[in-house]
Structure 1
Amino acid sequence: MSKGRGIPSLKLRSILKVLTAAGFIPLRTRGSHTFFHHPDCRRLTVSLHPSAEAGPPIVKKIIRDAGLTEAQFLELL
């Protein structure tokens, strides 16, 4: 990636949109935790309050846990 074009801070709504586009299906939400399932048996839990914004380190962790690359994530964004 070029300088200045890293992972942005994102609201939960944007993260959910990307994960859904990547094939993850939201199973349930309990408090601030949203549980996802992917048809290839991957599971993912995102812990974020709906009004909060996730900083770049948290977004990178979600990307890694989802099995995506940063480029794939940014393309779906």
Structure 2
Amino acid sequence: MVILQKIGFRAIRQKGSHVFLKHADGRTTIVPIHPGEKIDRDLLNKIIKKDLGISREEFLKYK
């Protein structure tokens, strides 16, 4: 979530454990938030490539 906020995404709404985030340019993504759990590698890669439209290396620059 912190990296997504650094990129410019803002939480718009939450339903249960899923947070809907939106960027000013219109990109959106949904991220599951489960206390004590990390996001699965495959899901994270999908979010980075498909939803954010950036490379993994670019994503890690914000870390």
Structure 1 residue 72 corresponds to structure 2 residue 58 = yes
Residue in structure 2 matching 1:34, options 15, 19, 32: 19
CA apart distance, 1:55: 2.6
Larger Rg: 1
CA apart distance, 1:48: 3.5
The question of whether the paired residues in 1 share the 8 Å contact of 2:19 and 2:30 is answered with yes
Percent identity between the aligned chains? 34
Runs of 4+ in 1 over 6 A off after TM superposition: none
Unaligned ranges ≥5, structure 2:
none
Match of 1:44 in 2: 29
Unaligned ranges ≥5, structure 1:
1-15
Q: RMSD in angstroms over aligned alpha carbons?
A: 1.3
Q: TM-score, normalised by structure 1?
A: 0.71
Q: TM-score, normalised by structure 2?
A: 0.84
Higher relative contact order (CA 8 A, sep 6+): 1
Match of 1:25 in 2: 10
Q: Whole-Å Cα distance in 2 between the matches of residues 51 and 31 of structure 1? A: 16
Q: Whole-Å Cα distance in 2 between the matches of residues 50 and 72 of structure 1? A: 26
Q: Whole-Å Cα distance in 1 between the matches of residues 33 and 43 of structure 2? A: 10
Structure 1 residue 53 corresponds to structure 2 residue 38 = yes
